[in-house]
């Protein structure tokens, strides 16, 4: 059974993209423990989405899983239509899906770029835009984007990945200004290691979880800082979603700083 919510999550509706694995899964479980109703989206070919939803329901909360490619506008609209039909509202959104490709720029194809940027940056844009009608009139509506610290520090060997992560930081700042005060938008950056070391993301498409950070950069950064566990990143996400952070928007919180 979900525990007592001390941060105002009880019966709030939350959607976590990339919620089948890693950080996204940890966020979904943490929200359920706090009494939220949780929807997870997952890659169309990722069977783990259904098992996560079943696990959430076993905890005593309302939970659903929907397959969606978050880089597809049609899929995203279908996802949020399903949320609207099921709950009629949305209070919280966590964009935790993505993909990565570790290749020198000379070998990085147009398709690689489109997939990486699409699953991370475009996916967060499409999902946030689609969420806004369901968040209209909701008190304490909040969005958290999950990225890698490489979006702040850079790193060789993964131009598309780093660009997408930096874009998430910029998107967070832009939307925080545009949507204030009705929706808060913040970012959690996983530091000290690549997101795949946290078990968070896959290199495949469809929004199953983000991975594939630059290998050389990951090794360099992780040697200077401990990679956080997925539940540590989840706790940071829940803080920024909660009423404890009601005055915080447009910020990027680094967890497991590697600098």
Euclidean distance between the first and final Cα of the chain, in Å? 39
Q: Which residues are catalytic?
A: 161
Q: Give the domain range for residue 184.
A: 13-255
Asked if residue 152 is part of any domain, the answer here is: yes
**Is 45 among the domain residues?**
yes
Which of left, alpha, beta for 172 (phi over 0: left; psi -120 to 50: alpha)?
alpha
pLDDT means per 10 residues, the chain with 259 residues, are 66 96 95 96 86 91 95 98 97 91 87 94 98 96 96 85 96 98 97 56 44 45 65 97 97 83
Residue holding tokens 């290691």?
Answer: 193
Q: How many domains is the chain partitioned into structurally? A: 1
pLDDT for the residue numbered 2: 53
Tell me the CATH number at 51: 3.40.50.720
CA distance 60 to 3: 10
> Does 195 map to a domain?
yes
In a domain, residue 171? The reply is: yes
Q: Tell whether 6 is covered by a domain.
A: no
In a domain, 72, yes or no: yes
Asked whether residue 1 is domain-assigned, the answer is no
Q: Is 7 a domain residue?
A: no
- How far is 46 from 249, CA to CA, in rounded Å? 32
> How much is the pLDDT for 98?
82
């Amino acid at each position: 059974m979900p525990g007592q919510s001390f941060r105002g999550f009880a019966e709030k509706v939350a959607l976590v993209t990339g919620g089948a694995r890693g950080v996204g899964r940890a966020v979904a479980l943490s929200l359920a423990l706090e009494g939220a109703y949780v929807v997870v989206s997952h890659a169309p070919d990722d069977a783990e989405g259904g098992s996560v939803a079943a696990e959430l329901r076993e905890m005593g909360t309302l939970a659903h899983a929907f397959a969606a490619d978050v880089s597809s506008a049609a899929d995203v609209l279908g996802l949020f239509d399903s949320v609207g039909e099921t709950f009629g509202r949305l209070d919280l959104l966590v964009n935790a899906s993505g993909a990565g490709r570790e290749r020198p720029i000379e070998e990085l194809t147009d398709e690689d770029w489109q997939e990486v940027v699409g699953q991370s940056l475009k996916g967060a844009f499409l999902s946030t835009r689609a969420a806004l009608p369901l968040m209209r009139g909701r008190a304490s509506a909040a969005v958290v984007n999950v990225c890698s610290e490489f979006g702040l520090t850079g790193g060789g060997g993964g131009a598309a990945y780093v660009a997408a992560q930096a874009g998430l930081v910029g998107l967070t700042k832009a939307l925080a200004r545009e949507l204030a005060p009705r929706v808060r938008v913040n970012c959690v950056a996983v530091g000290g290691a690549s997101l795949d070391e946290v078990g968070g993301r896959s290199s495949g498409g469809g929004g199953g979880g983000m991975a594939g950070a630059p290998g050389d950069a990951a090794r360099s950064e992780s040697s200077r800082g401990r990679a956080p566990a997925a539940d540590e990143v989840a706790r940071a996400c829940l803080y920024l979603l909660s009423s404890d952070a009601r005055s915080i928007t447009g910020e990027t919180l680094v967890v497991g700083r590697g600098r």
